[in-house]
Every structure is written in C-alpha cells, then in structure tokens.
Amino acid sequence: MRKLFGTDGVRGEAGVELTAAMARDLGAAAARFAGPGERILIGRDTRESGPMLEAALVEGIVEAGGVAVTAGVIPTPGVAVLAAQAGARLGCVISASHNPYRDNGIKFLGGDGRKLPDADEARIESLMDGPFLPGGRAEHFDDACERYVSWLAETFGAGVPAGTMLGIDCAHGAASAPAVALFERLGETVQRIGSEPDGRNINAGVGSTHLDAIADLVRGHGLELGLAFDGDADRCLGVDAAGRPVNGDVILAVLAIDRRQNDRLPGRRVVVTSMTNLGFHRLMGEHDIAVEVTDVGDRYVLERMLAAGVTLGGEQSGHVVDLEHHTTGDGLATALLLLGALHRLEISMADAHDLFRPFPQLLVAVSADRSLLPSADRVWQEVEAVTEKLGGSGRVVLRASGTEPLVRVMVEAEDEADCARFCAHLARVVQTEIGS
C-alpha cells in the first residue's frame, strides 16, 4: 500500500516534508525499478528547491546503477514528449504545479510519456531501501526545451493562424522560455507577463490560478485574447478581449464541437470530471456529443479515456488531454489546439465564452483532516439532503484534496442564492465535523 505517493506524485514543503534524503531514496528506488543501466529523464520547474532535489535524485539514480539524464527547466509534458527521444525507461518531474514556491513534488512517468499506474508507484516506494550498484552515471539532455518547442510546432502548429494579437502569462514557471519561443515561431504578436522566474515568484499572483493578471494585460494592450499557464505548464486557461475568464469547460467545448464537425471525435464522446459545469453537459447534448464523467484529476480522465477509446477529455481547471497527438495534458498544446479550433469555427474568444450559460457554481476549500471524510456520516447525510432539495437542477460534489489538507465543497444550482446558501451550509458542516 502506498504511503508517500498521492494523486500526483510525492508532494510536500521542500526541505521539510520533501527532503534531499527522500529525493535521493526515490531516485535510487526508481533506478532499481527501471533496471541497471536504464535511463531516467529528469525535468523541473523554476522553484528554488528544484536544483537541490534534482541533485539528490541524480545521486540516488547513479548510486543504484541507473543513468540520470537531466533536462533542466522544462514543462511537465515536455518530459513526457522527450522521454522516448532520450531513450528513457522513466521520466521524472520535479514540480508542485500550481502550488506556492515553498512546496515541491516528484512524480514519475513511463518511457511512453504516460503517468505510472498506482501499482508501479507502490513498487518504486517498496524499493527505497534496496542495494546500491556500480555503473551508474549522469548525463545532460542538450537543447531539451528547443526540441520540445519544435515538436509542439510540428504537431499542433499547422492549423494555427499567424498574426494573432495575444497575451501570455507563464506564471514565472516552466513555460517562461518555451511559450514565448513557440508563439513567436508561429508568427503571433505576443505580449507577456509572468516570464521572469526568480525561484520564489512561481504562481505568485500570476498564472492560471490568477486570471486577473492576464485580463489586465489583454485589456491594457487591446489584445484579442489571453492565455495563462500554471507553474509546470500542463494547464491552460484564457480570457477574451474584455478580460472575461475562459475556463477548461469552455476550452473543451470548443475543441469538442470543432472535432465533431470535422468527424474527428471517436464515438462522439468526451470525458470530463464531476466538477464540469452542467451548462457544458447541455451544450454537448445539443451537438450530439456524449459526456462521460469521472473523478477529479487528470489521471482519472486519462484512465477513462484509454478504457473507453476516447481521444478528448479534460478538466475545468484547464487540463486538456488530446490522445490523438499526445499522452498527457499539455498547456502549450492546449493553447495551440484552441487557437486552431477558434479559427476553423470562425469565432472569437468572446464567442467561445458565450457558447453556454454556466450554472452558478461555488467551490469552497475547507481546512480539514481529509482522511476522516469517508467516515464522516453527518457530512454525507447533509450532502444527501442538499442533493435531494436540488433535484435535477443542481448537484453537490464533495471530495478530499489529493495534495493538500483540504476538503473541497462544490455546489451547482440554477438559482445563485440557493447555490451560495447550500455551499455555505455544507462548508460549515465539514468544518464542524472534521475541520482542522
């Protein structure tokens, strides 16, 4: 049974919960899992703790007889893309995504660029106390970002019109260099923010979790639209010319409609999570597109897509998975897919924003002991009672965070006042019963 790995690798405050010693042990365990002489490609985001954790991982891999191949700062999906090019048995990413700079994380990918299944992560964890072997070494993967940008341009750039006046927000993260290079290569007119990382400013008031920053840039420069990425650049959200937010539901709707019209949507299906707005479901019904729902997390979206033969899926948070071309969510790829789809559909980002009327939806994060949630009977009784009151015109999603000591309460209802009232009520119940 896994103890360290959560829904997105091993996470914690760098130097406190996620230490150099732990990273070294994880690196050694990964080398034992991969086998003697096998290559492990390592990429990281811009956090100040990244080089320390990278050095520890390399040390562990080498001491356990593996080959550690460092790619430096690169988006998480870049590691997925380049693992095969590097001849790697595993990929490893050092990042805590959209979390503050003090946090960091370590997660592993297969050599095929896909996230490892739970059983493989458990196996790696079980090997942390294994033997050391001779023959290990460290290498550097030259021009990693340039190769990744070239792959993106060649794979997704053909349908993207040149000359778009757009703003980009790189969250002072891993997209800071490749995003600018990519859009300029495709001939876009780019204004940028969040592209000057200093190790501590990643996600700080910028990026996909702070859309006000890109909205101000777009309005201030009279741009057509804005795109914002998170710290490791596997998410993309946007704003229209007026600065109105365009979330993952809208982006996925645009892509699904475009593919449906061009007969490129196998089974006429998309996969989403339980957080996806009911307005999205209604819009998909109007376009004869079936919607499959899974738990929150891009790992679960991907699992359902692979099992059901679906090539398009995603989350409201901006994770979009395109299995027609890729193995994982990729914020830069999503941006290019969106620009191409808007062009083919002959609509603006503002038109996309207005594609459907979202149901009022509130999400509250309650500090709580998430491990107690499954047995919190009164909490679930209240969830059932609110769900019954909403009937078919709303819903409740209550779940434990996979990476933080939080319980997230989401309520959706046609009436905004009902939405606020029920959400506040359930948040109070969670706080009373299991709050920390």
Give me the phi and psi of 239, to 5 degrees please: -140, 155
- Examine residue 405 and state whether it is found in any structural domain, yes or no: yes
> Which residues, in sequence order, are CB contacts of 163 under 8 Å at separation 6+?
187, 188, 189
Looking at residue 297, what is its pLDDT?
A: 83
Residue-wise pLDDT for 157-172, tens only, equals 999 999 999 999 999 9
Looking at residue 296, what is its pLDDT?
A: 83
- Examine residue 237 and state whether it is found in any structural domain, yes or no: yes
Task: Quickly state the pLDDT bin for 26 (edges 50, 70, 90).
Answer: very high
Q: Quick one: average pLDDT of 319-335?
A: 96
Residue-wise pLDDT for 260-282, tens only, equals 999 999 999 999 998 899 899 99
| CA atoms of 233 and 247, how far apart (whole Å) | 15
One domain, residues 167 and 56: no
Which pTM does this prediction carry?
0.90
Looking at residue 151, what is its pLDDT?
A: 98
One domain, residues 311 and 348: yes
From residue 144, alpha-carbon distances to 83, 107, 160, 195 in Å are: 10, 19, 23, 18
Helix (H) / strand (E) containing 290: strand 290-294
Q: What is the DSSP letter of 14?
A: B
- SS3 category, 142: coil
One domain, residues 26 and 128: yes
One domain, residues 310 and 368: no
Q: Is the pLDDT of residue 402 over 80?
A: no
| Biggest CA pair distance of the chain | 66
* Among 217, 244, 271, residue at a domain's last position: 244
One domain, residues 215 and 276: no
| CA atoms of 172 and 205, how far apart (whole Å) | 10
- Examine residue 96 and state whether it is found in any structural domain, yes or no: yes
Q: Which residues have a catalytic role annotated? A: 97
- Examine residue 73 and state whether it is found in any structural domain, yes or no: yes
Domain of residue 109 covers 10-142
One domain, residues 29 and 138: yes
| CA atoms of 336 and 258, how far apart (whole Å) | 13
Q: Quick one: average pLDDT of 347-369?
A: 95
- Examine residue 4 and state whether it is found in any structural domain, yes or no: no
* Among 353, 369, 403, residue at a domain's last position: 353
Residue-wise pLDDT for 387-401, tens only, equals 999 987 888 999 998
Residue-wise pLDDT for 53-82, tens only, equals 999 999 999 999 999 999 999 999 999 999
Helix (H) / strand (E) containing 92: strand 88-94
Q: Is the pLDDT of residue 410 over 70?
A: yes
Residue-wise pLDDT for 91-143, tens only, equals 999 999 999 999 999 999 999 999 898 899 999 999 999 999 999 999 999 99
One domain, residues 73 and 133: yes
One domain, residues 230 and 259: no
Looking at residue 288, what is its pLDDT?
A: 97
Are the C-beta atoms of 179 and 170 separated by less than 8 Å? yes
Q: Quick one: average pLDDT of 333-342?
A: 98
- Mean pLDDT, all residues of the chain: 95
One domain, residues 132 and 210: no
Domain count of the fold of the chain: 4
From residue 126, alpha-carbon distances to 34, 42, 67 in Å are: 13, 21, 20
One domain, residues 137 and 156: no
- In the block, which residue shows the tokens 């190769």? 147
SS3 content of the chain, % helix, strand, coil (to 5): 40, 25, 35
Q: Is the pLDDT of residue 299 over 90?
A: no
- Examine residue 1 and state whether it is found in any structural domain, yes or no: no
Assign residue 158 the CATH number of its domain. 3.40.120.10
Residue-wise pLDDT for 376-386, tens only, equals 999 999 999 99
* Among 353, 372, 404, residue at a domain's last position: 353
Q: Quick one: average pLDDT of 145-149?
A: 97
Q: How many CB atoms lie within 10 A of CB 432?
A: 11
- Examine residue 168 and state whether it is found in any structural domain, yes or no: yes
Residue-wise pLDDT for 420-435, tens only, equals 999 999 999 999 999 9
Residue-wise pLDDT for 173-218, tens only, equals 999 999 999 999 999 999 999 999 999 999 999 999 999 999 999 9
One domain, residues 198 and 235: yes
From residue 120, alpha-carbon distances to 108, 163, 286 in Å are: 10, 45, 41
- Examine residue 267 and state whether it is found in any structural domain, yes or no: yes
| CA atoms of 104 and 209, how far apart (whole Å) | 17
One domain, residues 34 and 137: yes
Amino acid identity, position 110: G
Assign residue 376 the CATH number of its domain. 3.30.310.50
Q: Is the pLDDT of residue 1 over 50?
A: no
Looking at residue 207, what is its pLDDT?
A: 98
Q: What percent of the chain has pLDDT over 70?
A: 100
| CA atoms of 36 and 58, how far apart (whole Å) | 14
- SS3 category, 426: helix
Q: Is the pLDDT of residue 403 over 90?
A: no
